Amino acid sequence: MAPTHDLKRWHGLDALRASMMLLGLVLHSAASYPRTPLGAAWPYQDAQSSALFDPVIFIIHLFRMPTFFVMAGFFAALLFYREGLIGFLVHRVRRVLLPFVVAWIVLFPMMVFGVTWALMGGGFGNVAGALQAAAAAPYGPASLAHLWFLYYLFMICVVAAAAVPLISYLPVATRARFMAIFGGLAPTAAGCVTLGLLSGLTMLPMSAPMLDTPAAFVPIARVLVAYALFFSFGWLLYVRRDLVPLFGRHPWRYLTAGLLMSAAYLASVLQSPFANPAVSHVASVMLGGVAMWLLVYGVTGIFVRYAGHPSPLQRYVADGSYWIYLVHLPVITWFIALLAPAPLSAVSKFAIVLTGTTIVTVATYHLFVRSTVIGAFLNGRRFERGLPRPEPAAAIVPSQVT
């Protein structure tokens, strides 16, 4: 199962990885404005709301992180087979663990201030009080916030680094048979549904009929197992990367089916036809598992089909996506707090929050990160300030967070 490393740049998948990072800006910009409050998952609910944001948040949450982990597994395998076991672990420490630690120490107090400011009423008049309150307990109550992805990704990478060498001791015939089955199923609708049912099984122990979002630093086994399935699929897809073009054959069919299945899943969660709660939970997680894999197949196929060619702008966005992912949440909380007392509609506030956060995060990346020591810390190298130069046909994929 140790493939020969090639020099092909996976433009479509790299763009997909970056897009899933950036989709977090949309998700978190909308989180304060749905009709149904998100509770502990998002502590501030604005006075203005719109039913438009409920399905937007639901759909994005359903497929974004699963797709993220599939891409994480794909590029982690690329790195493992290119750098070897020790090089892989060193890279994961430098590009995942250390950025997580530094980002949490620096950014968490900023998020505490933003949320405190919003809960105190926001606007310019409450800045001093929010600063004083946040300064009194800048790290409490502690939470992983949006950085949980890095925390769990690092743990899964460590498990993979231990598991892959052990798998090499299995008989060659056994490994070959497994990969043959994977190659026959993975790019098909039957494979998609099979993976969906497996994900449904991993969601059975969840607190609700959906993937839990961990907040505590104590690892949650059920979350690790659930996302390890997506990561493992991505890893195996790199081993059989000859299958990648096949995902671009019918992406719109998968996406359409995924949206229809998502509607059925949402209906089952809101109003199950089963009187028994246990039966309702099983039915909902199975529908949810299939829905999320249909969406994963759909969006993956779209990027494979339409974003597989080199683009300087696409490359620039991919280079900056790690920084934007790290810093976007505190910026969003500040904009939300600033707009809290404004007599604007929920849609207007969302548009301002999203636009403002995009401008701030992209500008800070361009001015203070891209060609500086911060960029080298995050991405392993400093890039030229402007758009990347056109790439040669064969180029090594630069590995960042994934």
In order along its 402 residues, the chain shows pLDDT tens digits of 455 555 467 889 999 999 999 999 999 999 999 999 888 889 999 999 999 999 999 999 999 999 999 999 999 999 999 999 999 999 999 999 999 999 999 999 999 999 999 999 999 989 999 999 999 999 988 999 999 999 999 999 999 999 999 998 999 999 999 999 999 999 999 999 999 999 999 999 998 899 999 999 999 999 999 999 999 999 999 999 999 999 999 999 999 999 999 999 999 988 888 888 899 999 999 999 999 999 999 999 999 999 988 889 989 999 999 999 999 999 999 999 999 999 999 999 999 999 999 999 999 999 999 999 999 999 988 998 888 876 654 444 444 444
- Ramachandran region, residue 285 (left: φ > 0; alpha: ψ -120 to 50; beta: rest): alpha
Question: Percentage helix, strand, coil, to 5, in the chain?
Answer: 70, 0, 25
- Using a 10 angstrom Cβ sphere, with 0-12 exposed, 13-18 middle and 19 or more buried, the burial of residue 278 is exposed
Q: What is the pLDDT of residue 6?
A: 53
Tokens at 339, concatenated: 């707009």
Q: Is the dihedral of CA 32, 34, 38, 41 positive or negative?
A: negative
Collapsing DSSP to helix, strand or coil, 50 comes out as: strand
Q: What is the pLDDT of residue 3?
A: 54
| Whether the bond into 141 is cis, omega within 30 of 0 | yes
Q: What are phi and psi of 307, to 5 degrees?
A: -125, 25
- Ramachandran region, residue 138 (left: φ > 0; alpha: ψ -120 to 50; beta: rest): alpha
Integer Cα distance of 368 and 363 in angstroms:
8
Tokens at 349, concatenated: 């506030």
Alpha helices in 240-311 (DSSP H): 251-270, 277-306
Integer Cα distance of 113 and 132 in angstroms:
9
Q: What is the pLDDT of residue 157?
A: 98
Q: What is the dihedral of CA 266, 200, 223, 188, to 10 degrees?
A: -100
Helix (H) or strand (E) holding 4: none
Q: What is the pLDDT of residue 391?
A: 62
Integer Cα distance of 265 and 294 in angstroms:
12
Listing DSSP states for 68-126 in one string gives HHHHHHHHHHHHHHHHHHHHHHHHHIIIIIHHHHHHHHHHHHHHHHHHHHHHTT-SGGG
Give the N- to C-terminal CA distance of the chain in Å, as an integer: 20
Integer Cα distance of 11 and 7 in angstroms:
12
- Using a 10 angstrom Cβ sphere, with 0-12 exposed, 13-18 middle and 19 or more buried, the burial of residue 273 is exposed
Contact 364, 374 (CB under 8 A): no
Q: Name residue 50's beta-bridge partners.
A: 34
User: What length does the chain have?
Assistant: 402
